[in-house]
Amino acid sequence: MKKTLLAFVALAALAACGQPQQQTPEAPAVQLHALDCGRISISDAGMFADDGSLNGQAREVVDPCFLIRHPDGDLLWDAGLPDGVADAPEGRVVNGPFTLRVTNRLADQLAQLQLTPADIEFVSISHSHFDHVGNAALFTSSTWLLDADERTWMFRQEARAAEEFALIAPIENAPTRTLEGDGDTDVFGDGSVTIIQTPGHTPGHNILLVRLPNSGPVLLTGDMWHMSESRERRLVPAFNVDRAQTLASMDKIEALAAETGARIVRQHVAEDFEALPVFPAALN
Walk along the chain (284 residues) and give the pLDDT tens digit of each residue. Answer: 333 222 222 222 222 233 333 444 456 799 999 999 999 999 999 999 999 999 999 999 999 999 999 999 999 999 999 999 999 998 899 999 999 999 999 999 999 999 999 999 999 999 999 999 999 999 999 999 999 999 999 999 999 999 999 999 999 999 999 999 999 999 999 999 999 999 999 999 999 999 999 999 999 999 999 999 999 999 999 999 999 999 999 999 999 999 999 999 999 999 999 999 999 999 99
Say if 280 falls within a structural domain: no
Amino acid, single-letter form, for residue 247 = L
Tell me the C-alpha distance between 37 and 81, whole Å.
6
Say if 258 falls within a structural domain: yes
Q: Are 101 and 87 in contact (CB under 8 A)?
A: no
Q: What is the pTM of this model?
A: 0.90
- Residue 29 burial (C-beta neighbours within 10 Å; 0-12, 13-18, 19+): middle
In terms of Cα–Cα distance, which of 223, 254, 228, 255 is closest to 241?
A: 223
Indicate which CATH number applies to the domain containing 255. Answer: 3.60.15.10
Instruction: Specify the length of the chain in residues.
Output: 284
Tell me the C-alpha distance between 59 and 248, whole Å.
26
Q: Are 238 and 52 in contact (CB under 8 A)?
A: no
Say if 279 falls within a structural domain: no
Strand ranges across the sheet with 92-95: 92-95, 98-101, 31-42, 59-70, 73-77, 122-124, 143-147, 176-179
Say if 257 falls within a structural domain: yes
Say if 131 falls within a structural domain: yes
Beta partners for 196? Answer: 207
Q: Domain residues for 156?
A: 8-274
Say if 237 falls within a structural domain: yes
Say if 259 falls within a structural domain: yes
In the chain, the number of structural domains is 1
Beta partners for 60? Answer: 41
Q: 3-class SS at 199?
A: coil
Say if 284 falls within a structural domain: no
Q: Are 112 and 280 in contact (CB under 8 A)?
A: yes
In terms of Cα–Cα distance, which of 196, 198, 213 is closest to 250?
A: 198
